[in-house]
Amino acid sequence: MSFGTATKVCKNAWIAAASQRRRETIGNAAGTKPTKHLVRMHPARVAMGRRECAVGAVAQQINDAPASVSEAFERCKAAGKVAFVPFLCAGDPDLETTKEAIKILDRAGATVIELGVPYSDPLADGPTIQAAATRALSKGCPMDSVLNMLAEVSPHIKAPIVMFTYFNPIMAMGCEKFCKRAVEAGAKGLLVPDLPMEETQLIRPDATAAGLQMVLLATPVTPLERMKQIAELTEGFMYLVSVTGVTGARVSIADNVGTLVKTIKETSNKPVAVGFGISTPEHVKKVVSWGADGVIVGSALVRTLGEAPSPEEGLAAMQALTEDLVSAL
């Protein structure tokens, strides 16, 4: 049942119940249940009924949420759509704003949401996300706080969360403990950008045991045979980096990535999502034309949210940008 349908059903049920109470109060035309006056429902009870209907409809929506990153992509493909995968840096400008941003992205149609854990030495990230991580860390944003925030927001969203974190913060907590806590907080996937394919074994057993799907990266310079191995080992989807370099919004994206998408899809049935440098609706349209299964947008959203004059303005601007990007899918 869709959100709109659930809301309509709930509303109709409420109206029917209210009508029945009125009939019982004033009687019918034949006077079978006479009464002296019409009993009106108190405004507070009316408001409460409406809130209960809304909560019920939202609960129905969340109950329909994909159980995994893989399922989210499968549903998208079955619907003939391309997945939208936004990235946020937790704690920039603060964790409360991050929580609201996640809700906005979910409502706007995110298929999966990548949640970045701020780190002091983010080797895969460009200036925009580095600056966001620095701002978050300067206010105090450890892994514990990020997971606590995620635990608060995850029951209210549909899109699966993929934790994007470097390995050092995981080691500091312990692999087994981190994986268990991440799943308890509501995460469905994990991407560790500084772990090459061979070293993912350091955490894969704990991730698998906890129920976290591990997403792996491939780049334009990854040898074909190695790319096939990555495609075999990745879970949920393969993250195809569109540039040789770090993250960051760019004026254009290289056309040769389209050939890579085609090559990967000819050798693997895993979904391929393209990221790094995608920041405009035109970029999104180009990636879709390549036949990619998903489009990943990070720096453009991070900059729009984190560099705004106020959190409220940042959230509004981020929502507008997200809607523009989604409309290009």
Distance CA 53, CA 13 (A): 9
Average pLDDT over residues 310-315: 98
- Domain match, 109 and 234 both: yes
Q: Rg of the Cα trace of the chain?
A: 23
Q: Pick the catalytic residue from 92, 106, 125, 235.
A: 125
- The more confidently predicted of residues 66 and 35 is 66
Statement: residue 280 has pLDDT above 80: yes
Assess whether pLDDT exceeds 70 at residue 119.
yes
- Choice among 92, 106, 114, 293 that is catalytic: 114
Residues 28, 92, single domain; the answer is no
Displacement of CA 29 from its chain's centroid (Å)? 55
Domain boundary residue among 12, 47, 62? 62
* Mean per-residue pLDDT over the chain, rounded: 84
pLDDT of res. 52: 46
Looking at per-residue pLDDT, the higher value among 255 and 326 belongs to 326
**Number of separate domains in the chain:** 2
In whole angstroms, what is the distance from residue 122 CA to residue 125 CA?
A: 6
pLDDT at 122: 80
Same domain, 20 and 144: no
d(CA 167, CA 165): 6
Band of pLDDT at residue 121, cut at 50, 70 and 90: confident
The residue ranking higher by pLDDT, 8 or 104, is: 104
pLDDT (mean) for 116-140:
91
Q: Which of 18, 43, 62 is the last residue of a domain?
A: 62
Cβ–Cβ < 8 Å for 157, 102: yes
Do 199 and 54 lie in a common domain?
Answer: no
Q: Which residue has the higher pLDDT, 256 or 229?
A: 229
Q: Is 142 found in the same domain as 57? A: no
7, pLDDT greater than 60: no
pLDDT at 254: 60
Tell me: do 8 and 114 sit in the same domain: no
pLDDT band at 252 (very low <50, low <70, confident <90, very high): low
Say how far apart CA 217 and CA 234 lie, in whole Å.
8
In this prediction, residue 277 carries a pLDDT of 82
Is pTM beyond 0.75? Reply is yes
* pLDDT score recorded for residue 163: 98
- Considering the domain architecture, whether residues 103 and 234 belong to the same structural domain is answered as yes
Q: Which residue has the tokens 């009870």?
A: 45
State whether 239 and 313 are in the same domain. yes
**56 and 131 fall within a common domain:** no
CATH number reported for the structural domain that contains residue 317 in this entry: 3.20.20.70
Among 106, 113, 190, CA closest to 156: 106
Q: Catalytic: 323? A: no
The per-residue pLDDT for 65 is 84
For residue 100, what are the domain limits?
A: 66-327
Q: What is the per-residue pLDDT for 49?
A: 52
Report how far residue 215's alpha carbon sits from residue 165's, in angstroms, rounded to the nearest whole number.
12
In terms of Cβ atoms closer than 10 Å to its own Cβ (0-12, 13-18, 19+), residue 71 is middle
The answer to whether residue 64 is catalytic is: no
User: Could you tell me if 46 and 155 lie in one domain?
Assistant: no
Confidence of residue 126 (pLDDT cuts 50, 70, 90): confident
- Return contacts of 39-46, CB within 8 angstroms, 24+ apart: none
Q: Residue 129 corresponds to which tokens in the numbers above?
A: 């996300």
Q: CA dist 298 to 226, 229, 242, Å?
A: 26, 26, 13
Same domain? For 226 and 292 the reply is yes
Looking at per-residue confidence, does 80 or 263 come out higher?
Answer: 80
Q: Which residue has the higher pLDDT, 254 or 79?
A: 79
Cα 279 from Cα 82, distance rounded (Å): 16
Average pLDDT over residues 234-241: 95
Same domain, 45 and 183: no
